[in-house]
Amino acid sequence: MISEVEEMKEKKDIEGLMRSLQQGDTVERADSAKALGMIDFEEKEERIISALVERVKEDESPTVRANAVLALGHVGGDVGKKALEESANDEDWQVRHDAAIAMGEYRDKNFIDTLSFLLEDDERDVQKKAVEALGKIGRKEKGEKIVSKLEDFLDVPELRREVVKAIGQIGTEKALEPLIKVFEDGEKEIREIALQGIGKLEEEEAEKVLVDALKDESWRIREDAAAFLGERGEEKFVEPLSGSLEDEKDHVVEEALKSLGKIGVESEKILKNIKEMVHDERPSIRIASAEALKGIDSKRSTLLLFGALKEESNPRVLWSIAESLSEVSKENLKDTMSEIDSLEGDRKDIAAVSMGKAGFSKFADDMISMLDDDRWKVRQKAAEALRGINGDELSKRRANRALSKLRERCEDNDKWVRAESVRTLADIIFDVDEQVDTEGSKEKLLRMAEVEADEDVLEAVNYAKNLLDI
C-alpha cells in the first residue's frame, strides 16, 4: 500500500511534505526529506532548502539528518552547501557518509578541503565516499591538487580500489604516474581499474602501456587495451592490434577486430587477416569481422562482406553482416551492387534489406513484399529497412502500397514488427504527407494509442504522434 508521503511526492504536494518534514514522526520526517530531494523543481525554493537545513542542524534522528543531507545534494543553494560542510563534523557516521555523497553531486571545487578532511574519518565507508566525491569533482575541474591528495591513500588496502578509480576519472597528466605504478605493481582487479584510467589519457607514455598490455597475462586487460587503442583511431596501432588476432581468448580477438575497423585503414595484411576471420568457426568472430570490414569501408572490404553473406549459414551472423553492409558508404555499395545478383534465396532478401536500410529506393518493392514474410524477423527488418528510404524518392504508387502494408503490420502478432512498422509508417507519412492521402494512416496511429497494451509499441506510437503532431 502506498504511504501518505509517497502519495504526496507523486502529486508534488510541497505543502504537505513540508508539514510532514517539520511535524511528522521520525519515519515521516525521514521519508519527507528524501521525497523533497527527489522532486524536480522548476526553480529552487529557498523555504524548502531552509527547512532541510533546519532538519540537518536540529533533528535528533540521524536518519532524518542523513536524508536531509542527501536532499540538499539535489536542491542545494549556497545555504545548503554550508550545511553540507558542517555535516562533515556530525557525530553520526551515516550523516557524514551521506554528506560526502551529496558534495560529490555538486562537483564543486569549494568542497575539496571538507572532503579531504573526511579522508581521515574513522569510518572506512565515509572515507570511500569522500574518495568517490573527490574523483567526481576532479573529473570536472581536472584537479591536480586532488590527485596529490588521493595519492597519499594508495597504500591503504581498503581504499586502494576507490582511489585508483577516482584518480583515473580525473584524467590529467599528473594522474598517469600513479596509475602506471599501480598497473605495474598492483593485484589483478586493481590493475584492470588502473588501465581504465590510463586508456583515457592521451600521453605517449599511456599509449606505450596500452600496446604492452596487449600481451598481458590477464585477458580482460588485453581486451580493454585493444578497445582503447581502437578509440585512438591511429594507423600506428594497426600492427600490434593485428597481432592480437591470434590471441587465445575470443573476447580479445573480437575487440581487436572491432578496433581495426575503427582505425579504418585498408592494407593487404589487414584484409587478408580479416578475410580469414570471416570464415572462422566461431560465430562471434565472424560477426566482429563483419564489423571491422564495415569500418574499413572500401570497395574491397565491401566485396568481402558480400562474399561472407554468400557463404554464411548462421542466421544471427547473416543479419549482422547485413547490418554492416547497410552502414557502408553508398558509393562503395553502388560499385559492388552487382554482387546481389549472385545471391540466392534468403541471402538475396537479406542483401535487399541492407540496400533498403542504406537508402536505395530501388529496393522498396522488395521491402514491401517482405512485410508479408512468414518469419517475424524478416518482417521486422523489412519494416526497419523501409525507414532508410527517403519517402520523397517513392512514387505515389509505392508510397500508397507501403502505407497500406505498414498499416496491416501495425496489427502484427509480434510486438517488434508492430513497433518498427509504426515508426516507419510515421516517417513515410512525414515525407509524403502532401503528395498522397495519409489520413487513414494517421487514424490508425491514433487508434493504436488507445488500444495498444505493449510498452515498447506504445513508445513507438508516441514517437509517431510527436513527429506528426497528431
In this prediction, residue 141 carries a pLDDT of 67
Give CA–CA dist 295/291, Å, rounded. 6
Please, which residues have CB within 8 angstroms of residue 42's CB and are 6 or more apart in sequence?
none
Q: Would residue 456 count as lying in a domain?
A: no
Domain range enclosing 338: 266-358
Q: Would residue 277 count as lying in a domain?
A: yes
In this prediction, residue 171 carries a pLDDT of 82
Find the CATH number of the domain harbouring 279.
1.25.10.10
CA 345 from centroid of its chain's CA atoms = 36
For residues 391 and 399, the answer to whether their CB atoms sit within 8 Å is yes
User: Domain total for the chain?
Assistant: 1
Q: Would residue 257 count as lying in a domain?
A: no
Buried b (16+ CB within 10 A) or exposed e, 83-93: bbbebbebeeb
Q: Would residue 348 count as lying in a domain?
A: yes
Q: Would residue 313 count as lying in a domain?
A: yes
Integer angstrom CA distances of residue 302 from 259, 326, 343: 18, 10, 15
Query: First-to-last CA distance in the chain?
Result: 37
In this prediction, residue 469 carries a pLDDT of 92
In this prediction, residue 132 carries a pLDDT of 96
Q: Would residue 271 count as lying in a domain?
A: yes
Q: Would residue 280 count as lying in a domain?
A: yes
Q: Would residue 337 count as lying in a domain?
A: yes
Give CA–CA dist 63/90, Å, rounded. 12
> Per-residue confidence of the chain (470 residues) as pLDDT tens digits?
468 888 888 888 888 999 999 999 999 999 999 998 888 766 557 888 899 999 999 999 999 999 999 999 887 678 889 999 999 999 999 999 999 999 998 888 999 999 999 999 999 999 999 999 999 998 876 678 899 999 999 999 999 999 999 999 998 889 999 999 999 987 899 999 999 999 999 899 999 999 999 999 999 999 999 999 999 999 999 999 999 999 999 999 999 999 999 998 888 888 888 888 999 999 999 999 999 999 999 999 999 999 999 989 999 999 999 999 999 999 999 988 888 888 888 899 999 999 999 999 999 999 999 999 999 999 999 999 999 998 888 899 999 999 999 999 999 999 999 999 999 999 999 999 888 899 999 999 999 999 999 999 999 999 999 999 99
Give CA–CA dist 369/372, Å, rounded. 6
